Amino acid sequence: MTAKDHDQRRDYNKQVLREADLDPDPIRQFQSWFDEAESSGLVEPGAMVLATATPSGAPSARVVLLRRTDPRGFTFFTNYDSRKGRELAANPRATLVSYWAELERQVRIEGVIEQLDSADSDAYFGRRPRGSQISAWASPQSDVVTDRETLEQRLTEVEARFGDGEIPRPPNWGGYRLVPDLIEFWQGRESRLHDRLCYRLTKGAWTIERLAP
Ligand SMILES: Cc1cc2nc3c(=O)[nH]c(=O)nc-3n(C[C@H](O)[C@H](O)[C@H](O)COP(=O)(O)O)c2cc1C
């Protein structure tokens, strides 16, 4: 294969981010950017990259869907036995990153992960479509599977097991909450002189600093 340069350039100039515009609480600030992303009609504004790492520091990353923002943090749902689940069990520090291209905005959130109470995970699982509930039982997320047919066979078995009855939450499936200690808001500006405003939790209070782009 021959090398290919990706040299296209865009200037960013849609909006500005000033210290005076910010909410003193970064989670409320995130919610207000998220609301704008939603009302702008973006596809999957809640899709975020979740980065985890092994205790020795080997990183891995994948997309998850943000399902809840509240004063305690940011919640997503997954399989606790998956690769991310295993990494988080050994090293609970994680990062979430949103990128809303149409708004020229990025948010990065760093902190510590905790598992949701089982009652909260049960409540969310109960609201999922039945097909997703069945897949959660059928799919040993991140394990190697022989082929697609094997997965579909597992699905059929789970369907037969539960019949028309209510499907309980699998014990290895549920929510994680990222409790933040750093949240950075990035707004694209002209000539790469972007705005970066970073909240850090120090001794229980949020401070805000501007970072060089
Ligand atoms: C748009 C999008 C949304 C996704 N949302 C989730 C999610 O909420 N939870 C989840 O476990 N996987 C989600 N995935 C799949 C993950 O990216 C990943 O493939 C899976 O969680 C296994 O990751 P792991 O092997 O690193 O644990 C999503 C993928 C995409 C592209």
Ligand 1 binding pocket includes 106 (Cβ within 6 Å): no
Atom of ligand 1 nearest to the CA of 76: 8
The pLDDT score that the predictor gives to residue 101 is 97
User: Residue 141: inside a domain, yes or no?
Assistant: no
The pLDDT score that the predictor gives to residue 43 is 95
Start-to-end Cα distance in the chain: 34
User: Residue 137: inside a domain, yes or no?
Assistant: no
Confirm whether 130 is a catalytic residue: no
Ligand 1 binding pocket includes 84 (Cβ within 6 Å): yes
Q: Indicate which residue's Cα is closest to atom 18 of ligand 1.
A: 62
| C-alpha pair distances (Å), 16 with each of 27, 39, 213 | 19, 19, 13
The pLDDT score that the predictor gives to residue 120 is 98
- For residues 2-7, average pLDDT: 94
Using 50, 70 and 90 to split pLDDT, how confident is the model at 134? Answer: very high
- For residues 25-52, average pLDDT: 98
User: Residue 118: inside a domain, yes or no?
Assistant: yes
Ligand 1 binding pocket includes 53 (Cβ within 6 Å): no
How many structural domains comprise the chain? 1
**pLDDT (tens digit, 9 = 90+) per residue, 68-81?**
999 999 999 999 99
Using 50, 70 and 90 to split pLDDT, how confident is the model at 88? Answer: very high
**pLDDT (tens digit, 9 = 90+) per residue, 47-76?**
999 999 999 999 999 999 999 999 999 999
Catalytic member of 72, 192, 196, 210: 192
Q: Measuring CA to CA, which residue among 79, 80, 84, 111 is closest to residue 95?
A: 111
User: Residue 70: inside a domain, yes or no?
Assistant: yes
User: Residue 55: inside a domain, yes or no?
Assistant: yes
Atom of ligand 1 nearest to the CA of 47: 1
Q: Which domain holds residue 101?
A: 19-128+172-210
Q: Which CATH number characterizes residue 70's domain?
A: 2.30.110.10
**pLDDT (tens digit, 9 = 90+) per residue, 6-25?**
999 989 999 999 999 999 99
Using 50, 70 and 90 to split pLDDT, how confident is the model at 158? Answer: very high
User: Could you tell me the distance, in angstroms and rounded to a whole number, from the CA of residue 79 to the centre of ligand 1?
Assistant: 10
The pLDDT score that the predictor gives to residue 73 is 98
Residue of 52, 54, 62 best suited for mutating to test ligand 1, as the one with most atoms within 8 Å of CB = 62
Ligand 1 binding pocket includes 64 (Cβ within 6 Å): yes
User: Could you tell me the distance, in angstroms and rounded to a whole number, from the CA of residue 48 to the centre of ligand 1?
Assistant: 10
- For residues 128-157, average pLDDT: 97
User: Residue 37: inside a domain, yes or no?
Assistant: yes
The pLDDT score that the predictor gives to residue 44 is 97
Rg (CA), the chain: 20
User: Residue 139: inside a domain, yes or no?
Assistant: no
Q: What is the pTM of this model?
A: 0.97
The pLDDT score that the predictor gives to residue 119 is 98
Q: Measuring CA to CA, which residue among 48, 13, 43 is closest to residue 195?
A: 13
The pLDDT score that the predictor gives to residue 172 is 98
Using 50, 70 and 90 to split pLDDT, how confident is the model at 37? Answer: very high
CA distance 59 to 53: 4
Ligand 1 binding pocket includes 117 (Cβ within 6 Å): no
Secondary structure class of 130 (helix, strand, coil): helix
Ligand 1 binding pocket includes 211 (Cβ within 6 Å): no
